[in-house]
Amino acid sequence: MSTLRNRAAVTGIGETPYTRGTDKSALRLTLEASLTAIADAGLTPRDIDGIVAYASGAVVAEDLLTNFGSHDFRFSATTPLGGASAVAALQCATMAVSTGVATHVLVPLGRDGYSGARIHRRLGQMRQFHVVSEFEAPVGANAPAQYYAPMARRHMELYGTTSEQFAEVARTMRRHATLNDNALMRTPMTVADHQASRMIADPFRLLDCCLESDGGAAVVVSGADHAMDMPRPRVLLSGMGVGHPDSPSAITQRPDMTRLGLAKAAPRAFEMAGVTHADIDVAEIYDCFTYTVICQLEDLGFCAKGEGGPFVEGGRIGLGGVLPTNTHGGLLSQAHVAGLNHVVELVRQLRGDCGARQVDNAEVGLVTGYGDLGDGSIAIMHRD
Amino acid sequence: MCDTCFSLENEWFTASGLGRVHSWTVCHHAFHRGFASLAPYVLLTVDLAEGVRMVAPMVVPDACRLAIGLPVILDYQDRHDDITVPRFRIHGEDDADG
Ligand SMILES: [Zn+2]
């Protein structure tokens, strides 16, 4: 049977500085990150013959083609999975380059999420959200914190998960961010700081919620054979998957609110990659809220459902722990680039380029995405 | 369409208004100015007896009394002449209007 395993590699990565406040447009931020990633791959913009643009973003492939002066563009797609889009785009790009449809596919993402349209306004306009817009917004559910809080509350009630365990996630991401020059939140945080932060949508406090920020990130995905002759060490895409929740009209309608689409995608990705959980040296897990990290650790299979709270205790997800997680600071403390910053960080870790926050001997890692309605995506990568 | 038998037939009927708490949140921060004067308000996610889930506020916003499975019943509040909103109260209690 044919497989996507090791058929493609991430050959270029790029990020802009992340800010809270910018006079640059989302397109400008996208172009800056793309130029960095394309140069990192040793290519020029005209070598890019495929683009997987961010379905929820302001920038479409045509905007980039116009600026690239492209003459032989061959593949354009989107992966409309909210925050799971960026990682799902890696699978989409792999399908394109492994079949010869395209050679070098760019996955770009730029947003002015702090200075421009705020995220909850964008959500209200997404057609996938019409059940929420019609039935839940009119009674006062108007933002992601309010949609996700009942998932977290149910997890707490069923399994005894605590706010202090959420705090452990938040302070670990913050500790990692203090080691990252391109992270927005670099003041150390204690569990007490977390517990003292104001309540937004119980059980979520302010420090359970991710940032909104301005910036761009981009990666280039190339066929594995081409990648042999490209300048940076090959980081191969070995296992990928996408999973959707049952009844994806609204979070409230899911049969099991505490289980995400990732629970379906993860076993497929691990099987494709031919690795086990013990092989994973570093994990970049989509962290729109602290709770979503705990839930995904369970859905990934690092622990059983309900055991994610205890799993994050004792430094287990910090640098030096058994599963260093979100080594860049994540959406909680680095920046919110819809998880493409998580992809960039995983590649950087597997290249060994992370300096003070480098995981020793990082050879195999995974990155996840989590979309607004529970969509999950995963990519497992390894260095050559 | 019915997701079991794929029938396109459907009909309106009056639901019992009975349900059980599935989960909840207490909204301290209002993300829409229309709800600012109500905060903090409790939003219940309720398993209706008829088999779907529904979100609505709790008449008396007292999260301390909530638990998964707590029986609740729907009632309605006329907020303005032309706006009526659904709310849940704990079943068997005649709560003062919140
Ligand atoms: Zn039917």
Q: Where are the domains of chain A?
A: 2-117+211-383
Residue A201 to residue B63, Cβ atoms within 8 A:
no
- Closest CB to B43: pick one of A140, A198, A203: A140
> How far is the centre of ligand 1, averaged over its atoms, from the C-alpha of A279 (Å)?
45
Do B43 and A202 make contact, defined as CB atoms within 8 angstroms? no
**A357: which DSSP letter?**
G
- List of chain A residues whose C-beta atoms are within 8 Å of the C-beta of residue B86: 139
Report pLDDT for A114: 82
Q: Where are the alpha helices (DSSP H) in chain A?
A: 26-40, 61-68, 85-98, 119-125, 130-131, 144-159, 163-177, 191-196, 224-227, 262-273, 290-300, 308-311, 330-333, 340-351
Nearest to A222 by CA among A213, A214, A232, A212: A232
**pLDDT, position B98:** 43
Q: Quick check: A146 and B27 CB within 8 A? A: yes
Sole residue written with tokens 């706006």? B83
Q: Which of A311, A281, A284, A306 is nearest to A370 (CA)?
A: A284
User: Could you report the per-residue pLDDT of B62-84, keeping only the tens digit for each?
Assistant: 889 999 999 999 999 888 778 88
- Residue A230: its pLDDT value, please? 97
Residues of B in contact with A149 (CB under 8 A): 25
Interfacial residues of B (vs A; Cβ cutoff 8 Å):
3, 22-32, 35, 38, 40-41, 43, 45, 52-57, 63, 67-68, 85-86
pLDDT of residue B55: 96
In this complex, do B57 and A140 lie within 8 Å of one another by their Cβ atoms? yes
Q: Is the pLDDT of residue B95 over 70?
A: no
* pLDDT confidence of residue A123: 62
Please list the helix, strand and coil fractions of chain B in percent, rounded to the nearest 5, in that order.
10, 45, 50
pLDDT at A250: 87
**Per-residue confidence in pLDDT tens, chain A, 384 aa:** 579 999 999 999 999 999 999 999 999 999 999 999 999 999 999 999 999 999 888 899 999 999 999 999 999 999 999 899 999 999 999 999 999 999 999 999 999 888 876 666 666 666 777 888 889 999 999 999 999 999 999 999 999 999 999 999 999 999 999 999 999 999 999 999 999 999 999 999 999 999 999 999 999 999 999 999 999 999 999 999 999 988 778 888 889 999 999 999 999 999 999 999 999 999 999 999 999 999 999 999 999 999 999 999 999 999 999 999 999 999 999 999 999 999 999 999 999 999 999 999 999 999 999 997 789 999 999 999
| pLDDT score, position A53 | 96
pLDDT at A128: 72
**Size of the A and B interface in Cβ pairs below 8 Å:** 81
The region, left, alpha or beta by phi > 0 then psi within -120 to 50, assigned to residue A90 is: alpha
Q: Is A380 helix (H, G, I), strand (E, B) or coil?
A: strand
Query: What is the rounded CA–CA span in Å between residue A377 and residue B12?
Result: 38
C-alpha span between A212 and B31 (Å, rounded) = 15
Calpha distance A276→A255 (Å, rounded)? 28
Domain ranges within chain B, ordered by starting residue: 18-90
Q: Domain A2-117+211-383 classified CATH 3.40.47.10? A: yes
- CB-based burial of residue B88 (10 Å sphere; 0-12 exposed, 13-18 middle, 19+ buried)? buried
The gap from C-alpha A247 to its chain's centroid, in whole angstroms, comes to 23
Pairing of strands A75-78, A204-205: unpaired
Q: How far apart are CA A60 and CA A30, in angstroms?
A: 10
**With b meaning 16 or more CB within 10 Å and e meaning fewer, what string describes A152-172?**
bbbbbbebebebebbbbbbbb
Query: In this predicted structure, what is the pLDDT of residue A119?
Result: 61
Q: Which helix (H) or strand (E) holds A378?
A: strand A376-383
- CA-nearest of A162, A165, A183 to A174 is A183
Say whether B55 and A149 touch across the interface (CB within 8 A): no
The yes-or-no verdict on residue B96 having pLDDT over 60 is no
DSSP H stretches of helix in A197-235? 224-227
Q: What are phi and psi of B95, to 5 degrees?
A: -65, 145
Angle in degrees, CA B15, B18, B21, rounded to 5: 130
| Strands (DSSP E) found in B7-97 | 18-27, 41-48, 53-57, 71-80, 83-90
Give the CA radius of gyration of chain B.
Answer: 15
Sign for the CA dihedral angle at A333, A88, A345, A110 comes to negative
Is residue B87 exposed (0-12), middle (13-18) or buried (19+ Cβ within 10 Å)? buried
Tell me the per-residue pLDDT of B10-48, one tens digit each, with 9 for 90 and over: 999 999 999 999 999 999 999 999 999 999 999 999 999
Residue contact B22–A140, C-beta within 8 A:
no
Other C-beta atoms within 10 Å of B93: how many? 12
**First vs last C-alpha separation in chain B:** 37
Question: Look-up: residue for tokens 């506020």?
Answer: B57
User: What is the three-class DSSP state of A257?
Assistant: coil
- Which residue, among B95, B85, B88, B94, has the nearest Cα to B71 in the 3D structure? B88
Interface residue of B21, B42, B45 to substitute, partner A, most A CBs within 10 Å: B45
Closest residue, chain B, to A140 (C-alpha): B35
Q: What are phi and psi of A243, to 5 degrees?
A: -140, 145
Burial A344-353 (b: 16+ CB within 10 A, else e): bbbbbbbbee
Which of the 8 DSSP states describes residue A133? I
Q: Given this model, what pLDDT does residue A139 score?
A: 92
Q: Is A268 exposed, middle or buried (0-12, 13-18, 19+ CB in 10 A)?
A: middle
Cα four-point dihedral sign B56, B59, B63, B67: negative
Tokens of A91: 């699978």
Radius of gyration (Cα) for chain A, nearest Å?
Answer: 19
| Contact between B32 and A142 using a beta-carbon 8 Å cutoff | yes
Taking contacts as CB-CB distances below 8 angstroms, the residues of chain A near B43 are: 139-141, 146, 150
- Distance from A293 to chain B by nearest Cα, in Å? 19
- pTM higher than 0.90: yes
